[in-house]
Amino acid sequence: MNIDIAAIRQALDDQRFETARRMCLSALDRPRRGRSAQDVRLLLHEALSCLGDIKAAQGVLEDFRSRDPDERLHLALLLAEDYHKLAAYDFYRGSVESAQGLTGDEYADKYEALADQAFSSAIALADTPIRKQRVAAVMRRTKRQSQADALAPLSTPESPAPIIPAGRGAIVGRLTCADGTPVRNATVTLGFPQAVSHPDPRGHLGRGIGGGIESRFQGEQTVRTVATDDSGAYRLDDLPSQRYPFLAVSLDPEAFDVAVLFFGRDLDVPAGGELRCDGVVEDWASAPEKPVDNPFPEHRTLEGASWRRMAAWTLRNPFHFDFPRQFVALPHPGCVSGLSLALFTSDAVGEPKPVQTLSDGTLGCFLDLPERTDRVVAVYACESSPAGDPAPGPSRSPLDFQLAADGLTAVIDTGRAMFRIAAGEGVEAIAPLLAVRGEDGLWRGAGRLLLPGHVAIAKRATTIVEQGALLLRVEVAYGLSTGETVRFEMTAHAGEAYLLVRETTVPIDGLAFEFSLREFIGGRGFLHWTPEHGGRHWSTLEVRNLELARLQESVAWWIPPQGFGYAMTPDGLDAKDYVGVFTRRRGEWIDRAFERISQGPGDANRELDWPYPEMVGSTISMITAHTSEDGDAWFRFAGFDGERQWGVLVSTLARNDGPYKELSSVQHKVSSPRLQDFMTWRLHESDSLRRPMLLMTRDEIRGLRRKRRAPGFATVWKKLVEGHQRGPSRGLQALL
Position 215 confidence tier, pLDDT thresholds 50, 70, 90: low
Q: Taking the mean position of all CA atoms in its chain, how far away is CA 99?
A: 32
Residues 8-19 have pLDDT tens digits of: 999 999 999 999
Residue whose C-alpha is closest to residue 305's, from 354, 355, 341: 341
pLDDT at 207 over 50: no
Ranking 280-284, 416-420, 630-634 by mean pLDDT, the lowest is 280-284
pLDDT for residue 210: 46
Tell me what the mean pLDDT of segment 465-471 comes to: 97
What residue segments make up the domains of the chain, in order of their start? 5-151, 168-206+216-281, 299-384, 428-677, 698-734
For 354-417, where are the E strands, in sequence order? 356-357, 363-369, 373-384, 400-403, 409-413
Ranking 29-33, 267-271, 523-527, 578-582 by mean pLDDT, the lowest is 29-33
pLDDT at 153 over 70: yes
- How many CB atoms are located within 10 Å of the residue 723 CB? 10
Position 213 confidence tier, pLDDT thresholds 50, 70, 90: low
pLDDT for residue 230: 96
> What does pLDDT average to over the chain?
90
Antiparallel, parallel or unpaired: β 642-652 and 577-583? antiparallel
Helix axis angle for 5-13 and 17-29, nearest 10°, is 160
Residue whose C-alpha is closest to residue 173's, from 281, 287, 252: 281
Residues making up the chain, counted from first to last: 736
pLDDT for residue 137: 96
pLDDT for residue 177: 94
DSSP 451-484: --TT--EEEEEEEEEEESSSEEEEEEEEEETTS-
Tell me what the mean pLDDT of segment 239-248 comes to: 96
pLDDT for residue 600: 62
Tell me what the mean pLDDT of segment 84-92 comes to: 91
* Topology at the third CATH level for domain 299-384: Immunoglobulin-like (2.60.40)
More confident residue, 497 or 384: 497
Residues 542-571 have pLDDT tens digits of: 999 999 999 999 876 567 888 999 999 999
pLDDT for residue 554: 82
pLDDT at 715 over 70: yes
- CATH entry, 5-151, from 1.10.246, 2.30.29, 3.40.50, 1.25.40: 1.25.40
pLDDT at 205 over 60: no
What is the C-alpha separation between 503 and 589, in angstroms, rounded? 10
Amino acid at site 4: D
Percent of residues, the chain, with pLDDT higher than 90 = 69
* Topology at the third CATH level for domain 168-206+216-281: Immunoglobulin-like (2.60.40)
325: Cβ–Cβ under 8 A, 6 or more apart, which residues?
366, 367, 368, 495, 669
What is the C-alpha separation between 164 and 242, in angstroms, rounded? 9
H or E element, residue 219 = none
pLDDT at 227 over 70: yes
pLDDT for residue 160: 66
More confident residue, 725 or 275: 275
pLDDT for residue 532: 78
Inter-residue contact 385 to 402 (CB < 8 Å): no
Convert 253-309 into a string of H (helix), E (strand) and C (coil).
CCCCCCCEEEEEEEEECCCCCEEECCEEECCCCCCCCCCCCCCCCCEEEECCEEEEE
pLDDT at 206 over 50: no
Q: What is the pTM of this model?
A: 0.87
pLDDT at 597 over 90: no
pLDDT for residue 208: 45
Tell me what the mean pLDDT of segment 662-677 comes to: 94
pLDDT for residue 209: 44
pLDDT at 610 over 90: no
Position 615 confidence tier, pLDDT thresholds 50, 70, 90: low
Evaluate whether 5-151 and 428-677 have a shared fold.
Answer: no
pLDDT at 186 over 50: yes
Ranking 28-37, 50-59, 261-270, 633-642 by mean pLDDT, the lowest is 28-37
Domain spanning 428-677, CATH architecture: Distorted Sandwich (2.70)
Query: In Å, how far are 356, 481, 687 from 469, measured between CA atoms?
Result: 7, 37, 41
Tell me what the mean pLDDT of segment 656-670 comes to: 95
More confident residue, 309 or 534: 309
Residues 103-148 have pLDDT tens digits of: 999 999 999 999 999 999 999 999 999 999 999 999 999 999 999 9
Residues 320-354 have pLDDT tens digits of: 889 999 999 999 888 777 788 999 999 999 999 99
